[in-house]
Amino acid sequence: DVVMAQSPLSLPVTLGQPASISCRSSQSLVYSDGNTYLNWFQQRPGQSPRRLIYKVSNRDSGVPDRFSGSGSGTDFTLKISRVEAEDVGVYYCMQGIQRPYTFGQGTKLEIK
Amino acid sequence: EVRLVESGGGLVQPGGSLRLSCAASGFTFSDYDLDWVRQAPGKGLEWVGRGWNKFNSYIIEYAASVKGRFTISRDDSESSLYLQMNSLKTEDTAVYYCARDHWGSYEYWGQGTLVTVSS
């Protein structure tokens, strides 16, 4: 299985400050069609996961533009330009290139 | 509007059985692959299994941790996905989500249903 490793696992951030989460995969997530199947999910306390980003950098409808995804191959980053209170929760990266899809361990974002 | 609604969770003793359902609406159910994903209390997300769609011959896949104990089925006429869980263990305690796959991504998730395995 493809192993997904996130860092940090805990991320205390001051309101209004930027935040960055790293995700590394054990193999390239570039598929033969040229797309890279890396996703980011947000899970707020007590809620289901919600997709934020698909194929590295495509934001889902309704996702604030302070969220951005970048990266290539095996190294990816989720950035929040200015953290707001509603961003508290756990963030997961997930690869969708190989079955079974696998998730990172999760990064818990909290407000300092 | 796409909706996935899980039901059937509850408290069951070790060795017992439970059947979960995921009722879908707002899209052509038969066109999509659907997965079960679980989350143990305070832990991360773990893929449980998949019901592939008609274009993929309704193949069923399982994670090694549940293979031989869990059975996934789907009824396209009812737009529903099922998870029959037998020989339950305490480590199966989790919230179980169904999720719709589209091109290597879980676009939509249900609200989840809690399964607690305890004596």
Residues β-bridged to residue B71: B84
Q: How many CB pairs lie under 8 A apart between chains A and B?
A: 59
* pLDDT (mean) for B7-12: 98
Dig out the tokens for B24 from the structure. Answer: 């879908």
From the centroid of its chain, how far is CA A99? 19
State which residue of chain A sits closest to B62, comparing Cα positions: A100
Task: Mark yes or no for CB contact B109/A99 under 8 Å.
Answer: no
Dig out the tokens for B19 from the structure. Answer: 């059947």
Task: Mark yes or no for CB contact B109/A48 under 8 Å.
Answer: yes
Residues within 8 A of A (CB atoms), B 65-94 only: none
> What is the 3-state secondary structure of A2-60?
CCEEEECCEEEECCCCCEEEEEEECCCCECCCCCECEEEEEECCCCCCEEEEECCCEEC
Report the pLDDT value the prediction gives residue A62, as an integer from 0 to 100: 96
Report the pLDDT value the prediction gives residue A13, as an integer from 0 to 100: 98
Task: Mark yes or no for CB contact B105/A94 under 8 Å.
Answer: yes
In whole numbers, what is the pLDDT of chain A averaged over residues? Answer: 97
What is d(CA A64, CA B49) in angstroms, rounded to the nearest whole number? 32
Report the pLDDT value the prediction gives residue A91, as an integer from 0 to 100: 98
Task: Express each pLDDT in A27-41 by its tens digit.
Answer: 999 999 999 999 999
The amino acid at A9: L
Task: Express each pLDDT in B14-42 by its tens digit.
Answer: 999 999 999 999 999 999 999 999 999 99
